[in-house]
Amino acid sequence: MRGLIVDLPERVVKIPVYFCHNSNRSMKQAVVLMNLGSPDSTEVKDVKRYLNEFLMDERVIDKPWLLRTLLVKGIIVPFRAPKSAEAYRSIWTDEGSPLIVLSKQLEEALAKEIDQPVTIAMRYGNPSPKAAYDELLKENPDLEEVILIPMYPHYAMSSYETAVEYAKEHHQKGKYKFKLTTIKPYYDDEDYIHALAESMKPYLQQEYDHILFSYHGVPERHIYKGDITGCHCLKVDNCCEVASPAHQYCYRHQCWQTTKIVTEHLGIPKEKWGFSFQSRLGRDPWLQPYTAQRLEELPKEGIKKVLVVCPAFVSDCLETLEEIAEEGKETFMHAGGESFTMIPCLNVHPLWVAALVKWVQEYAGGSKEMVLT
């Protein structure tokens, strides 16, 4: 067992942040921070339960129910659960799952800076949106509106969309009287970009050859499905850089935009960065290039010192702490690399907290700029 490491250099932690409070709200509001989720423990039975819920989501594995059930419950979970349990044990902390611990820390940090009560919910596992709503109502029976902030900067069917729809489903089934308002994807929002860039800046002071932006992968078919034009995504040359209405729902474009804006903000030369996609599941083609493959190739290209950042995750979790910081490092070093550094997620960085504060306060003050329509 080991304590949770949030490796933020001292000078980052001490960045001054100033907040202004808005006490002129016309509605009694609360905030729910909605993240991915985690097993309740590292026991195989809990990991199985979590994986079944996760992989049976039709927006994650978008196959017909019977085929999905056979794949997930008959093949994937029975074989994957013991290995996943071992992976979770390698990152588990004395306080529990890193993702849950960090989500609670973010909840506490945000609650200190705004008037609205704050709680967390998970798409998979505990606490559910219903549990979050009930907790808020118990303490605030006159609640009129919940502001839902998905912990997903980019729109993807298997992340942002499924989280929002799940929260809405619980809201409708529970027949709650309060209004549910959702913050839109913020992959190019200036406050998110500023927080991400500043959180990375201290790590750029060390000597490095290349910085790899690694995003959670999705099957290519998800990109095709999300293309509202039916003729742009992965069909047009340089599709992510050619303007199109499809970009509103295109995960790959949004990842590309985050990378492009952050590297420009930090002044990183184009030859010193790349972007890739991790966490591939199954044999279907997923977005490429694959992170694991790039980490194996980079040393052969003369890149011996690498930094890796994972902007699709705002909280460190299995996919960053184990898949990248442990497995990814092993792959890179075994291939001939000399130095591997994973830059932590935003977690509870002061500027990330400040961005959340701004969105909530501006909405409470009447602005609809960050609201999903």
- DSSP labels, 270-308: GGGEEEEEE---SSS-BSSSBHHHHHHHGGGGT--EEEE
- Average pLDDT over every residue of 17-31: 61
Provide the pLDDT for residue 362: 97
Are 260 and 167 within one domain?
no
Provide the pLDDT for residue 267.
98
Residue 101 counted as domain residue = yes
**Rounded-to-integer distance, Cα 372 and Cα 272, Å:** 35
373 assigned to some structural domain: no
Query: Model confidence at 12, in pLDDT bands (50, 70, 90)?
Result: very low
- Mean pLDDT, residues 69-94 taken together: 97
Residue 4 located in a structural domain: no
Closest of 154, 129, 168, 162 to residue 32, by C-alpha: 129
204 and 160, same structural domain? no
Same domain, 353 and 332: no
Residue 78 lies in a domain: yes
Residues 154, 57: one domain? yes
* 35 and 180, same domain (yes or no): yes
Residue 92's alpha-carbon distances to 32, 207, 212, 369, in angstroms, are 24, 30, 25, 38
Q: Which two tokens stand for residue 3?
A: 């304590």
Euclidean distance between CA atoms 333 and 346, whole angstroms: 25
pLDDT surpassing 50 at residue 77: yes
**Are residues 36 and 152 part of one domain?**
yes
Q: Are residues 301 and 359 in the same domain?
A: no
Enter the DSSP assignment of 150.
E
pLDDT band at 26 (very low <50, low <70, confident <90, very high): low
User: Measured between alpha carbons, how far is 153 from 345 in angstroms, rounded to an integer?
Assistant: 12
* Residue 173 falls inside a structural domain: yes
Residue 6 has pLDDT above 60, yes or no: no
The reply to whether 111 and 167 lie within a common domain is: yes
The whole-number pLDDT of residue 4 equals 44
Q: What is the pLDDT of residues 34-67, one digit of tens each?
A: 999 999 999 999 999 999 999 999 999 999 999 9
Q: Are 317 and 277 in the same domain?
A: yes
Q: In CATH, what number is assigned to the domain containing residue 153? A: 3.40.50.1400
Within-domain flag for 1? no
Mean of the pLDDT values across residues 329-352? 98
Number of domain units in the chain = 2
Tokens of 39: 């097993």
Give the range of the structural domain holding residue 310, as residue numbers without chain letter.
190-342
Q: How far from 212 is each of 196, 258, 332, 353, CA to CA, in Å? A: 14, 13, 12, 25
pLDDT tens profile 194-238? 999 999 999 999 999 999 999 999 999 999 999 999 999 999 999
> Quick one: pLDDT at residue 27?
80
Residue 204 included in any domain: yes
In-domain check, residue 246: yes
**pLDDT per position as a tens digit, 345-359:** 999 999 999 999 999
Q: Taking Cα atoms as reference points, which of 151, 120, 145, 133 lies closest to residue 315?
A: 151
Look up tokens 């306060």; give the residue.
361
Distance CA 189, CA 351 (A): 13
| 125 shares a domain with 149 | yes
Is there a single domain that holds both residue 131 and residue 160? yes
pLDDT in tens, 116-147: 999 999 999 999 999 999 999 999 999 999 99
* Residues 301 and 210 both lie in one domain: yes
